[in-house]
Structure 1
Amino acid sequence: MSEWVYEIVRQGGYLGIMFLMALENIIPPVPSELIMGLGGIAVARGDMEFWPLLLCGTIGAALGNYVLFVVADRLGYERLRPFIERWGRWLTLEWRDVEIAGSFLRRHGHWVVFILRFMPMFRTVISIPAGLAHMGHVRFLLFTAAGAAIWNVVLILGGRWLGQTLAEAEQWLGWATLVVAVITIVFYVWRIVTWKPREE
């Protein structure tokens, strides 16, 4: 997995990073940990600079989250509910979950968007309740970008450390990402097989 991502990073440069980070937040084909980690390795090798990498990765993450936010904001609760009720098993999501998340967001405000940026399972999903709650667009983008920037700094520094410490750092990072991906897929399949809405 790491080879083709690294090729996009190498050939696409900062714009490639921005594209992958945006795509990862809309349709997660590859985790941001690998994207920004490889970017950090590129920084260690002198192929990229820290600040432009951080800026492009953060912009990409914010834009990807903003797409989901706008979709939820435009659809609203009434039009989104039939979709979730029909495809809930495959989304492993119930309408009640959306209502709970929206209520939690309204009670605790924009800080939820900021804090959940550090949690791999929730940093993308929170965009949907935020859109349904009609959170201010500028506020959403600011707190999403702030949380993404801090997370990206950690990933870049980690990748840079790997690049300076291990000669074959991208292979190690690729294997680690593969293990995480397999665990995620197994967990998802288990959720589908054992899915039973609370209403039942």
Structure 2
Amino acid sequence: MGAWLTDTIHSMGYFGVVLLTFLENVFPPIPSELIMPLAGYLAAEGRMTVWGAIAAGTLGSLLGALLLYGVGDRIGEDRLKDFADRHGRWLTFSRGDIDRASRWFQRRGGWAVFVCRLIPGIRSLISIPAGIHHMPLAAFLAWSALGTALWTGLLVGVGYVLGSNFERVGEFIDPVTKIVLAAVLVYYLWRVATHKGARRD
């Protein structure tokens, strides 16, 4: 995959960065941990600018986030509750859980979006509950842009400093991503095992 990412950015420049970061949000296995450091390396070589790379990465991520937000908005809370009534055990939440999550998201939605945009493995998924709970689009874009620009800028900066050794970024971040995903899987299995069925609050 690394060779394909490299070829895409080399041949398409800023548009390649936009395209890849868009796909990275929709298909999380595509790693931003390689895309943006590569853009930073190209900036160090004079083939991009640092700010242009950050802007392209942020734009692509926001486009992907908007798509997932739209999916969540289309599903809606009522459909999700009906689905939870039928498949609550495997979803590990009930109708009452959705109500509580909705109230929590309404209180902390902005910060939740901002923080999750900085966490590998779940940074894309936060867009779906934001859409489900109908977070105002302007606020969603603002918080997403802040978190995304910070994450993107960090990776571009590291790639700029590391130069041709930019692939080392993935070597450090990839284990962290796997740990986060493993913890999420363990938590999911625990929730399935302890699920007590749908509750109508």
- SS of alignment partner, residue 199 of structure 1: coil
Correspondence list, 1:33-182, <5 A: 33-82=33-82, 86=87, 89=90, 94-95=93-94, 99-163=99-163, 167=164, 169-173=165-169, 175-176=171-172
Higher alpha-carbon deviation: 130-139 or 96-105: 96-105
Which residue is equivalent to 1:22?
Answer: 22
Which residue is equivalent to 2:193?
Answer: 196
Structure 1 counterpart of 2:195, which letter? Answer: R
1:101–1:129 CA contact under 8 A, matched in 2:
no
2:72–2:128 CA contact under 8 A, matched in 1:
yes
Provide the C-alpha distance between the structure 1 equivalents of 2:19 and 2:116, rounded to a whole number of angstroms.
Answer: 22
- SS of alignment partner, residue 52 of structure 1: helix
Q: TM-score, normalised by structure 2?
A: 0.79
Aligned residues: 194
- SS of alignment partner, residue 135 of structure 1: coil
The question of 1:5 aligning with 2:5 is answered yes
1:178 CA drift (Å): 5.9
- SS of alignment partner, residue 110 of structure 1: helix
Deviations 1:28-56 (A, max 9, x none): 13121211111111112222111111111
2:65–2:127 CA contact under 8 A, matched in 1:
yes
The root-mean-square deviation of aligned C-alpha atoms, in Å, is: 2.9
1:183 CA drift (Å): 5.7
Deviations 1:81-107 (A, max 9, x none): 455664974xx7645765554322111
Structure 2 counterpart of 1:10, which letter? Answer: H
- SS of alignment partner, residue 3 of structure 1: helix
Flag structure 1 segments of 5+ consecutive residues without an equivalent: none
1:21 CA drift (Å): 0.9
1:190 CA drift (Å): 6.2
Structure 1 counterpart of 2:10, which letter? Answer: R
Structure 2 counterpart of 1:78, which letter? Answer: D
- SS of alignment partner, residue 129 of structure 1: helix
Distance 1:57 1:171, change over 3 A: closer
- SS of alignment partner, residue 193 of structure 2: coil
1:181 CA drift (Å): 6.6
2:54–2:153 CA contact under 8 A, matched in 1:
yes
Q: TM-score, normalised by structure 1?
A: 0.79
Percent sequence identity over matched residues?
Answer: 35
Distance 1:121 1:100, change over 3 A: farther
- SS of alignment partner, residue 107 of structure 2: helix
- SS of alignment partner, residue 24 of structure 2: helix
1:177 CA drift (Å): 6.1
Provide the C-alpha distance between the structure 1 equivalents of 2:140 and 2:154, rounded to a whole number of angstroms.
Answer: 22
